[in-house]
Amino acid sequence: MCGIAGIVSSKALESDLKKMLLTQTHRGPDHMGSFKDNGFAILGHNRLAIIDLSPDANQPFTDNSGRYQLSFNGEIYNYKELKEELKNSYQFKTTSDTEVLLAAYIKWGKKCLHKFNGMFAFAIWDRKEKIIFAARDRFGVKPFYYTQENKFLYFSSEIKAIRSVINRDLPNKKVWANYFTYGSYGMPDETFFENIHQLPGGHLLSFFDGQLKMEKWYDFQVAVEKINTKNSFEEARAIYFNLLKDSISLRFRADVPLGFNISGGADSSLLLALVNEFEDKKRIKAYTFYTGDARYDELPWVEKMIATTNNPLNRVKFTAREVEKSAEFIVKLQDEPCGGIPTLAYSKIFEQAQKDGITVLLDGQGMDEQWAGYDYYLTEEKSQNTIQGVGKNSPFRPKVLSEKLRSLAEKPSYPEPFDNELQNMQFRDLLYTKIPRALRFNDRISMAYSTELREPFLDHRLVEFAFAQPAEFKIHKGVQKYMLREILKSLAPEDISFAPKRPLQTPQREWLGQNLKEWVETNLVILKHSKNQDWFDYKEIEKEWKLYLKGDQESSFHIWQLVNAAMLLKKQ
């Protein structure tokens, strides 16, 4: 992983680009580089060296002709296979995936995107045509933010980089209103800032002579429709298991030490088992967090799993005393609202990995969306819920908003391209709600500690295949992620493979109302005196807080929202 930045403008300043790069230097501490095409554009890059550690692979990277300049964040996992395909049309001078990406673009143009198996956000400047081409991977694992001003284009890996050189501090009030009213973090092209946009996952853009053009290059629905769904359960299981092993194998490609993150669920058990399918990876380190609260900790399950493989396990404890300091650091890095205490606890894994000299970590994100693992998938009618483990009552409290801000809220509407509710809910979670927000949270916390996070279960081949399977392969007699658990049966103890999903991993409910009570109240005061104080109804906030302290704690999300907002808005 790395950081990218650029300015397409006749007046682009190197000092502005340097400022952008310095704000995201945590993304790539190994090298900071830039390229300027005088009077047209300037590109920059923060490098975290993963594949081909030599200076020859530093970026911005130029092709042999000098026509193209590339700034690239991510990994092309199948770069070795593509390099073999390209060897007769391009003379390679490095062993990097960066050069393979650029060679692929030179040969195939935008069609190269369909050949990539990876996570990526990149920009290529064409010095001859004076046009920039940029693209983002299928599911938006890697970030790409941009804004336009006076027909100039600014882009970067993090919002803070754009904000460092352009006055883009105006909050997007509609997105904020929807966050409190519906728990939405915005649509795929939106951010919490006015006029700062995301390039959605699976999209590309070009910018020439002040004109920006965007198009979708990856159509998930079309990809799913191409999958053969006539296989028997056993045939589908065998196909999927082979894809799993190949995905893990590809994501082991690195010239730096690797580790992996696990929790106590079926997904992590599968990741652990798959890692140990490879003889040379049987001793790589595993990481897990715990809080010391037996009601929530998954450590006993993790230890039971690890006992079957004997991988070294690093147990990372996160306590209530660490929350305030951790939140200050992580919330600032996120730029936008983020997950609560579980996100903070998860970030400590990356802090520890960095201390241990581990540069790449694998993670088990994505199985619940492709195999229907969330509790609300069991409902007979369409569920509007996108938060797990909050009971039947709404976790949102829109009345804490002033009428003026609340009037801006607009219930998000998501496409329903499939002919059944289950797949439409999965589609929503995969491309609009759960996966996009989790990927953003996780990108920032891994990059905070200059660590690359890889998501083997989000290999597009896996997602497309699993998504296309019949509902009874996903949910069978009330057992969710059924095929996944059947695969795991032969690899792990049965009580692990069929353990129910635990929606909560930290005592956030208890900590906010007890250990962190004063900290919460301090932030509520900060909110009251922020320059956005007219957004809120403080009598309603006080009422909700008192109810919470008296035991109305089925959900703590609304309390975290207020604290998170206070920490972000005091900086704007």
Does the pLDDT value for residue 200 go beyond 90?
yes
Query: What's the rounded Cα separation, in Å, for the pair 316 and 145?
Result: 33
- In terms of residues, how long is the chain? 572
At 423, is the secondary structure helix, strand, or coil?
helix
Does the pLDDT value for residue 499 go beyond 70?
no
Query: What's the rounded Cα separation, in Å, for the pair 530 and 571?
Result: 9
Average pLDDT over residues 356-361: 96
How many other CB atoms sit within 10 Å of the CB of residue 554?
A: 14
Q: Are 249 and 276 in contact (CB under 8 A)?
A: no
Does the pLDDT value for residue 207 go beyond 60?
yes
The tokens describing 274, both together, are 């798959």
492 against 461, higher pLDDT? 461
Query: What's the rounded Cα separation, in Å, for the pair 378 and 425?
Result: 11
The tokens describing 341, both together, are 């205490």
**Per-residue 3-state assignment (H helix, E strand, C coil) for 21-67:** HHHCHHHCECEEEEEEECCCEEEEEEECCCCCCCHHHCCCEECCCCC
Q: Are 255 and 452 in contact (CB under 8 A)?
A: no
How many other CB atoms sit within 10 Å of the CB of residue 572?
A: 13
Query: What's the rounded Cα separation, in Å, for the pair 147 and 167?
Result: 11
Confidence class of residue 283 from pLDDT cuts 50, 70 and 90?
Answer: confident
Backbone phi, psi, residue 413, to 5°: -120, 125
Q: Could you give the maximum distance between any two Cα atoms of the chain, in Å?
A: 71
Does the pLDDT value for residue 308 go beyond 90?
no
Does the pLDDT value for residue 544 go beyond 60?
yes
Q: Report how far apart, in Å, the C-alpha atoms of 218 and of each of 8, 113, 204, 431 are.
A: 25, 9, 9, 12
Beta-carbon contacts of residue 401 (< 8 Å; ≥ 6 apart): 177, 180, 181, 409, 535, 536, 537
Query: What's the rounded Cα separation, in Å, for the pair 478 and 546?
Result: 38
pLDDT at residue 277, rounded to an integer:
85
Average pLDDT over residues 209-236: 97
pTM above 0.85, yes or no: yes
Does the pLDDT value for residue 206 go beyond 60?
yes
Confidence class of residue 266 from pLDDT cuts 50, 70 and 90?
Answer: confident
Which segment, 320-324, 379-383, 393-397, 568-572, is predicted with the most confidence on average? Answer: 320-324
Percent of the chain with pLDDT over 70: 95
The string of pLDDT tens digits covering residues 120-129 is: 999 999 999 9
The string of pLDDT tens digits covering residues 29-83 is: 999 999 999 999 999 999 999 999 999 999 999 999 999 999 999 999 999 999 9
